[in-house]
Amino acid sequence: MSQKVLVTGGAGFIGSHLVDALMNNGCKVVVLDNMSYENVNNVRRWLKDERFKFVKGDLKEAAVARKVAENAELVFHLAANPEVRVGEINPSVHFDENLAATFSLLEAMRRSKLTKTLVFASTSTVYGEASVIPTPEDYAPLVPISLYGASKLGCEALACSYAYTFGIRTLIVRLANVVGSRSRHGVVVDFIRKLQTNPSRLEILGDGTQTKSYLHIDDCVGALGHLVDCFLKSRSKVDVYNVGAFDQVGVTRIAEVVVEEMGLENVEFVFTGGVDGGRGWLGDVKVMHLSIRKLLDSGWKPRYNSEQAVRLAAKSLLKEIRC
């Protein structure tokens, strides 16, 4: 893997775990993060390391983007607003923090003489309500049902155009729901918070039939490292991979796992009934399962299935809370 690496959103959940792996592999790492949602504690262990540099700034500002991109050989672009539900309340957030920020980064990479490889963290939500399950990378048409998914698909398109127009090679990874320590949003975190407030009753958004694929953070980082190594050895201008688990798990089973890990009994599950056909919120994809055949064929496979990933995440998050 390249030695000079930029990680946008590197103080966040996925970003900070990726930074740990990069630093442990001897890379020189620059992290750019605006700290809107995350905590510098996620990367505090590296702050005094001479191979590490932390920059607090807004990627949408051209000067900031140029500063961090000019000396990077490889860019992992993870900076984004991760809250799918915010799009219903404030649509401009996903346009600004996802699309505009990505455009700013690509422009900085275009102007750099050194930076020519981008790894873009996309999402399963670009597929929308796929009619093929598990869903492969070549599934079409891509019709996202959330503003978050639409913004990520737009970012993919921008990155592809810069690859073919300006020679910025791009690896796109479409991630399933990633869970694990340091996470600050998502169903596992949501359930833990609710049960801490009321240990006898758990409100579950939707009608209870939501079934999705979950990927443990360790598997996520491992897959990223493997795919980057493969991509750098290839001649592809653009490549796309799904990254997820072999299977799915339902929201009710997730609730049961969290209850078990918290040592609770006789918890009443209360389903809200949901919106638009039982979704947890507008834009919620009820059934998601990515095909990972292409990933498996590349020589890598996840260690954990969806339920194991959820259980490990619950254990880690509860340990963090107690500490």
Residue 231: per-residue pLDDT: 97
In this model, does residue 86 exceed pLDDT 80? no
- Scored b (16 or more CB within 10 A) or e, 203-240 reads ebbbbbebbbbbbbbbbbbbbbbbbbebbeeeeeebbb
pLDDT greater at residue 313 or residue 2: 313
Q: Tell me the one-letter amino acid at 292.
A: I
- For residues 50 and 27, what is the distance between their CA atoms, to the nearest angstrom? 11
Q: DSSP H helical segments within the chain, as ranges?
A: 13-24, 62-69, 86-89, 92-94, 101-111, 147-166, 187-197, 217-233, 251-261, 293-297, 306-322
The correct answer on CATH 3.90.25.10 for the domain covering 180-212+248-286+304-322 is yes
Residue 118: per-residue pLDDT: 98
In this model, does residue 103 exceed pLDDT 90? yes
pLDDT band at 35 (very low <50, low <70, confident <90, very high): confident
In the structure encoding, which two tokens stand for residue 208, read together? 């209870």
Residue with the two structure tokens 């275009």: 110
- For residues 172 and 101, what is the distance between their CA atoms, to the nearest angstrom? 16
Residue with the two structure tokens 């807004």: 58
Residue 7: per-residue pLDDT: 98
In this model, does residue 84 exceed pLDDT 70? no
- For residues 11 and 13, what is the distance between their CA atoms, to the nearest angstrom? 7
Q: What is the residue-averaged pLDDT of the chain?
A: 94
Residue 122: per-residue pLDDT: 98
Among 127, 148, 241, 304, the active-site one is 148
Domain ranges of the chain: 4-178+214-243, 180-212+248-286+304-322
In this model, does residue 126 exceed pLDDT 80? yes
Residue 148: per-residue pLDDT: 94
Identify the architecture of domain 4-178+214-243 in CATH. 3-Layer(aba) Sandwich (3.40)
Contact 42, 16 (CB under 8 A): yes
Question: Residues 62, 63, 68, CA angle at the centre, nearest 5°?
Answer: 100
Q: Is 148 a catalytic residue?
A: yes
Residue 170: per-residue pLDDT: 98
Residue 213: per-residue pLDDT: 98
In this model, does residue 1 exceed pLDDT 70? no
Q: Please tell me the pTM assigned to this model.
A: 0.95
Q: Give residues with Cβ within 8 angstroms of 129, minimum separation 6.
A: 143, 145, 285, 286, 287
pLDDT digits (tens, 9 = 90+) for 272-307: 998 999 999 889 999 999 999 999 999 999 999 999
In this model, does residue 87 exceed pLDDT 60? no
- Three-state DSSP at 240 gives strand
In this model, does residue 27 exceed pLDDT 80? yes
DSSP E strands in 38-125: the ranges are 52-56, 74-77, 117-123
For range 29-37, the mean pLDDT: 87
Contact 29, 144 (CB under 8 A): no
In the structure encoding, which two tokens stand for residue 275, read together? 């919106």
pLDDT digits (tens, 9 = 90+) for 160-210: 999 999 999 999 999 999 999 999 989 999 999 999 999 999 999 999 999
Q: Give residues with Cβ within 8 angstroms of 220, minimum separation 6.
A: 14, 17, 175, 178, 180, 243
